[in-house]
Amino acid sequence: MSPTNITVNPDLLAYIDPLTPDEHSALERSLLAEGCRDALVLWGDVLVDGHNRYGICTQHGIAFNTVQNVTFRSMDDVHLWMIDQHLGRRSVSDFQRGVLALRKKDILASRVKPVAAPRADDGQPSDADIEQAVAAMVAPLTREATARAARVSSATIAQIQKIQESATPELLAAVKSGTISINTAATVASLPADAQLAAAAGGKKELQLAARQVRESKVSPRDPQSPDGLIASLKFTIAELTAENLALKSRLAELGAA
């Protein structure tokens, strides 16, 4: 029999990227054919894991079971558990794993508190013991540890951070959907918002072109009068003009829609 006293917390529902339409349809077909074999995870009456299954089962009257996780002490504990569950799933993309690992890093960072050095005569652990304990707490906060948790390189984690900080929603949607790579998205994220928006509107080829022009504009040969220097200078000018052109296109589109 399916429990009825289940609360869906909107923040937890939105904490993990939703399934794509194809993934949701596949899950729905599976539940209709085989029933709900995995129990939904609850914290009290709050649904923690199984939001998609819960919605489908409720819609179609499919029975399901629940299990309580009694280890949670706070919402941070819930978030960390959700992150670890999704980091272990093969269907999660590199970008999604990077985002989740960075969230975990932030939660762990908020839990690290300064450790006071003990007095020499109070019988407390030595300075070496304190340093070792602090190192153990800080280790999960390093970029390298975050990259290992996400199963990507440290450079990729840095690119994901840049995307989160600078990308427009349209550019973010393109990398989330797999339309462009993390590397391309991070490069385009260095452009002004208008140029990002216009490039995203142009699709994959326009985004890749914008990224290539940004990379080429960063070439700085020693002799600007050499053939290589002149070519690099021209490429830089082209990249600047392209970015301006994309921004103008975006503004004209906005005016036409007004």
Which range among 147-151, 205-209, 248-252 shows the weakest confidence by mean pLDDT? 248-252
* pLDDT > 90? residue 35: yes
Q: What is the pTM of this model?
A: 0.72
How far apart are the C-alpha atoms of 144 and 153, rounded to whole Å? 8
> Of 22, 39, 72, which marks where a domain is finished?
72
Q: φ, ψ for residue 99 (rounded to 5)?
A: -60, -45
CA dist list (Å): 19 to 24, 39, 52, 96, 172: 6, 19, 8, 12, 16
Give 225 or 69, the one with higher predicted confidence.
69
- The reply to whether 65 and 97 lie within a common domain is no
What tokens does 215 get? 């990379």
In a domain, 137, yes or no: yes
- The reply to whether 23 and 97 lie within a common domain is no
- The reply to whether 256 and 183 lie within a common domain is yes
* pLDDT > 90? residue 88: no
Give 168 or 217, the one with higher predicted confidence.
168
Domain span including residue 148:
93-166
The pLDDT-based confidence of 1 (bands split at 50, 70, 90) is very low
Indicate the residue type of 64.
F
* pLDDT > 60? residue 18: yes
- The reply to whether 243 and 205 lie within a common domain is yes
Q: Using one digit for the tens of pLDDT, what is the confidence trace for 4-15?
A: 689 999 999 999
The pLDDT-based confidence of 211 (bands split at 50, 70, 90) is very high
- The reply to whether 253 and 174 lie within a common domain is yes
pLDDT of res. 170: 95
In a domain, 80, yes or no: no
Three-state SS at 239: helix
Residue with structure tokens 């985004």? 207
In a domain, 244, yes or no: yes
The sign one gets for the Cα dihedral 206, 211, 214, 215 is: negative
In a domain, 83, yes or no: no
> Of 43, 72, 101, which marks where a domain is finished?
72
pLDDT of res. 142: 84
In a domain, 66, yes or no: yes
> Of 119, 145, 166, which marks where a domain is finished?
166
Give 238 or 194, the one with higher predicted confidence.
194
Contact present, 108 and 141 (Cβ < 8 Å): yes
Query: With pLDDT > 90 as the criterion, what percentage of the chain qualifies?
Result: 60
In a domain, 6, yes or no: yes
Question: What domain count does the chain have?
Answer: 3
Q: Using one digit for the tens of pLDDT, what is the confidence trace for 135-190?
A: 555 555 688 899 999 999 999 999 999 999 999 999 999 999 999 999 999 999 99
In a domain, 78, yes or no: no
In a domain, 84, yes or no: no
